[in-house]
Structure 1
Amino acid sequence: MPGYSKGLQEIGDGLFAWLQPDGGWGWSNAGLIVDGRPGDGAAALVDTLFDTALTAEMLAGMERATGFGASTIGQVVNTHANGDHTHGNHLLHGAEIIASEASAREMEAFSPKLLAQLKAASAAGQLGIAGTYFAEVFAPFDFAGVEERPPTRTFCGHDHLIVGSKAAELIEVGPAHTAGDVLVHVPQGRAVFTGDILFIEGTPIMWAGPVLNWIAACERIIAMDVDVIVPGHGPLTDKAGVREVADYLAYIRDEARARHAAGLSAEAAARDIGLGRYASWKDAERIAVNVDTLYREFNNNPTPPDAIRLFGLMGQIYYDRR
């Protein structure tokens, strides 16, 4: 695998990954699929970045390397609804924006305007420890300059993307990390862009579940005939890296289930579970969200997560451990 450094890496014939170390909160990856040159070719982007400046930097880098930039990329696939994969959509004025129907609905509910408001409230000390933690992890990003550009084409289950002579499969595997996660598989390039189904060297965060869907998505990637796997966060990986993510999810599920059966609260369980070999992964405090989601699953509770409360709990765990 190529080294993990910021910027554009070619991963195959006409396939590129834009990587953003260290892969923690907000530092997401994106992809580019190219066929030919501008004027007689085509290009599609897999995900945009968390704010306007980061996305503009990425598009300029892609244009320098490939000739395709903001005005010549014809399609964008958003792998899921989170802003670090969608907030740059507005810079691609003429592009078709593609996402799952579930992701499109989720984007409506958690807008860049809301993130900007939360960041301002955090800076003003209005959200307690949740705000302190939120402000710290999202300090590098400017949500105020982001304009919403929602999907212009949606699908359920499966769809196809044609980029010149290249074909890509769009495979909905959510709900898992979020409500509508999508894999972008390029068979000709023996590559797959996974969005946040994969966090490599970082702790996965399960906002939606069920956990079995996420594990099944990992198994699906492992079964693919691919050489290069581009995660939503972290360095390029291989099938062993995918297996690590699946093993983490299964481990947390089993540990949470045992504590649920013993009558512990979700918060107590999150603090009690030993992370073992996963303790060195970035953002380990995300276990608070993962256990909360698992408990709601165990209880057949359809209530959506309370993000502010969970940011507060992650903050407590983070500052206690630090």
Structure 2
Amino acid sequence: MTLERVAPGVDRWVMPEASMSAVVVADAGEALVVDPGTLPARAAELRAAIEARGDRVVAVAITHAHWDHCFALSAFAGLPMLAHPAAIDELREHGEAQRAAVLGFAGPATAEAVRALPIVLPDAPVPSRRALRVGGIEVGLDPLGPAHTGGDLVVHVPTAGASIVGDLVETADDPQADDSTDIAGWLRALDALAAHAQPLLVPGHGDPCGHERLAHHRALLGDRRRRV
């Protein structure tokens, strides 16, 4: 696993678990990690790679409360952990159920690690749009939802022309839904991304893309809503 540059000051690190992209925003020696992944040991490798190039992690954010994005939060203990308030509630209420589900399909080594990890709740809720300083740049935190989950958080990096969108947008597969999904809210979130997101979208799964992917998701989700 290596840090892969996707935009100026923005790198991704693709985790083996669910091929989820952890994203690093860095400037002037400071770094924000978005979605640290599933296993604390892998997130520790990511943190070591960030520090090896001379950056210091100053905060962590999760785009939503699904295990593959946030179970590794304990690797960043002591740092501010940012999330949509509803994501914090979801992780508190359903984290153990997600752990049990992962144990049902994980291989022996991964299952052992997931069984032992602490489920950490983010401690810095983001109930409304706000800015976060990372080095000399301003990053925008944009809570949306309910949409893909009860509370999704988008991270905008205007200096890089990139927005980190979690699973609101995917390129590795079609959009995924579960019991926490609100299709109508997701369609509204896609409209918000069309209006406010940067030109480059960095999804949780798959390669970065442009706004053309929004139309693809809008069509599929609109069809799902009509069928329901």
Interval of TM-score (by shorter of Structure 1 and Structure 2): 0.7 to 0.9
Letter in 1 for 2:44: A
- Cα distance in 2 for partners of 1:199, 1:225 equals 15
Distance 1:74 1:161 in 2: 11
C-alpha distance in 2 between matches for 1:57 and 1:248 = 37
Distance 1:20 1:238 in 2: 22
The TM-score with structure 2 as length reference comes to 0.88
CA distance in 2, matches of 1:169, 1:247: 27
In the alignment, the residues of structure 2 paired with residue 20 and residue 163 of structure 1 have an alpha-carbon distance, to the nearest angstrom, of 23
In structure 2, the residue corresponding to 1:63 is in which secondary structure? Answer: helix
Which residue of structure 2 lines up, in the alignment, with residue 174 of structure 1?
A: 145
AA partner of residue 162 (structure 2): A
Shift in Å at residue 176 of structure 1? Answer: 0.9
Instruction: State the partner residue of 2:168.
Output: 197
Paired position in structure 2 for 1:305: none
Q: Which structure has the larger Rg?
A: 1
Tell me which protein shows more strand as a share of its residues: 2
Moved over 6 A (4+): none
Partner of 2:28: 36
Name the TM-score, length of structure 1 as normaliser. 0.64
Q: CA deviation at 1:175?
A: 0.6
Aligned equivalent of 1:148, options 116, 119, 135: 119
Q: Secondary structure at the match of 1:73?
A: strand
Aligned residue among 43, 67, 72 for 1:83: 67
CA–CA distance in structure 1, aligned partners of residues 151 and 31 of structure 2: 24
| Aligned equivalent of 1:281 | none
Matches within 5 A, 1:264-275: none
Structure 2 CA distance for aligned equivalents of residues 183 and 31 of structure 1: 12
1:183 aligns with 2:154: yes
Q: Give the RMSD, CA atoms, in angstroms.
A: 2.2
SS of residue in 2 equivalent to 1:56:
helix
Partner of 1:18: 13
Give unmatched runs, 5+ long, in structure 2.
none
For residues 193-220 of structure 1, the C-alpha deviation after alignment (integer angstroms, 9 at most, x for no partner) is: 0011112131322232331221122222
Matches for 1:1-322 after TM superposition, within 5 Å? 7-20=2-15, 26-37=18-29, 42-64=30-52, 66-68=53-55, 72-111=56-95, 113-118=96-101, 122=104, 135=105, 138-139=106-107, 141=110, 142-207=113-178, 208-224=180-196, 226-254=198-226, 256-257=227-228
Distance 1:50 1:236 in 2: 21
Gaps of 5+ in 1: 1-5, 123-134, 258-322
The code of the aligned residue for 1:12 comes to A
Amino acid at match of 2:219: D
Q: 1:152-176: per-residue Cα shift (whole Å, max 9, x none)? A: 2112132221112211111111111
Q: How much does 1:28 deviate?
A: 1.2
Distance in structure 1 (CA, Å) of the matches to 2:219 and 2:11: 28
CA distance in 2, matches of 1:252, 1:204: 11
Q: Distance in 1 between matches of 2:102 and 2:25?
A: 34
- Given that 2:169 and 2:217 are in contact with CA atoms closer than 8 Å, whether structure 1 keeps it comes out as yes
The one-letter code matched in structure 2 to 1:229 is L
Cα 1:84/1:249, change in 2 over 3 Å = same
Higher deviation after alignment, 147-156 or 188-197: 147-156
| Contact 1:176–1:206 (Cα < 8 Å) also in 2 | no
